[in-house]
Amino acid sequence: MESTVSENKWYVLRVMGGKEKKTRLFIEKEIDRLNLTDFVSRILIPTEKVYQIKNGKKVSREKNFFPGYLMVEANLTGEVPHIIKAVQNVLGFLGATKGGDPVPMRDAEINKILGRVDAMALIDESISIPFVVGETVKVIDGPFNSFNAEIESIDEQKKKLKLIVKIFGRKTPLELNFMQVEKI
C-alpha cells in the first residue's frame, strides 16, 4: 500500500489535558513499531513562549495554546485512525459528528496555526522597548516592589532600565530589567 505525503491532511486529535507530550511520544512509538511512518508524517503540539518573572529572573516556558489537543498530519486510511485512537490518553479525532469520520482541517486554518507557531519561534527574543526616558513606571519585582520610579536611561541590549526611586524624600538609583517594571 503506497502513500505519498501529499495525501496527508492535518487532523485535530483530542487527548487528555496535560498529557499532550506523553501522548505524542506514545503515538510516535506506535507508528514506528507498526512501520506506518508513511501514513503519519507529523504530530504537533501548538505552543507559544510565555515569559514570567521567577526569583527576579525572566523565565520563558512553553504554553499550549490548545490544551488537550494535538495536530496530526496523516493519511487516515485503513487501520491508521483506529491505531491512533487506541493509543493511551487519546480521546479521538475531531469530526463533524460524535464518533463520525475525522474531518481534516482547512488549509487556511492549518497555515494560520503553523504560521503562529513559526512566528512564535521567530519573535522569541525580539521584545519591543515599551519604555521612554523620563517616564514613571511601577516596580513589580524585588525589594522596591510597588514603588514608582522614574526612568533615567534604557539599555536595549541588556534589556535593563536605570531608575530613580524616591524613598523618604531621597532619590535612590536602581537598575532593573524590563520584566521587573510595568507601565502605570
**pLDDT value, residue 5:** 47
C-alpha span between 172 and 74 (Å, rounded): 61
Domain ranges of the chain: 5-122, 136-183
- Torsion on CA atoms 171, 176, 179, 182, rounded to nearest 10: 10
* pLDDT score at 3: 43
C-alpha cell at 39: 501514513
Whether domain 5-122 has CATH 3.40.50.11890: no
Q: What is the pLDDT of residue 164?
A: 95
- Measuring CA to CA, which residue among 37, 44, 39, 41 is closest to residue 21? 44
Per-residue confidence (pLDDT) for residue 89, from 0 to 100:
95
d(CA 6, CA 9): 8
H or E segment at 158? none
Positions of the chain with pLDDT lower than 70, given as ranges: 1-6, 96, 117-129
Q: Which CATH class, in words, describes the domain spanning 136-183?
A: mainly beta
Q: What integer pLDDT is reported at residue 16 of this predicted model?
A: 93
pTM of the model: 0.59
Instruction: Give the per-residue pLDDT at 118.
Output: 64
What pLDDT score does 110 carry? 83
85 burial type by CB count under 10 A (0-12 exposed, 13-18 middle, 19+ buried)? middle
